[in-house]
Structure 1
Amino acid sequence: MKAVEIKELSVADLQERIEAEKANLNKLKVTHAVSQIENPQNIKKARRDIARMMTILHEKMNK
């Protein structure tokens, strides 16, 4: 998800999206631990998306 798309979301939507992405990341990690996943780069992408969303959330909260 791109930063421009994230900035358009409201604070509540952003918080919901972060929780959903964290759940997805945990699912990916468990799946990867049990058996090899098709594209391990998805874990890296999910982590970075969560960090990007949290950064923008903190920016919105501090304004």
Structure 2
Amino acid sequence: MTRNDYPLILQIKDVIKILGFSKSTVYSLVQEPDFPVLQVNNRKVVYRDDFFAWLDSKRKIIS
């Protein structure tokens, strides 16, 4: 799947699938101040483009 194949609003289960991380690891990431999460009522969601921008910002070049 490409980035644009995902819905505009990602649920946490989508983030878990994309990253391949455990549920507890993703919920820990969600608590980080720079993680682009939105609280909508009792649900946490993420704008797709903000999530991938955040993910790109975490990339490190290894030389």
Check whether TM > 0.5: no
TM-score by length of 2: 0.27
TM-score by length of 1: 0.27
Structure number with higher relative contact order (C-alpha < 8 Å, ≥ 6 residues apart)? 1
Larger Rg: 1
Larger helix percent: 1
Larger strand percent: 2
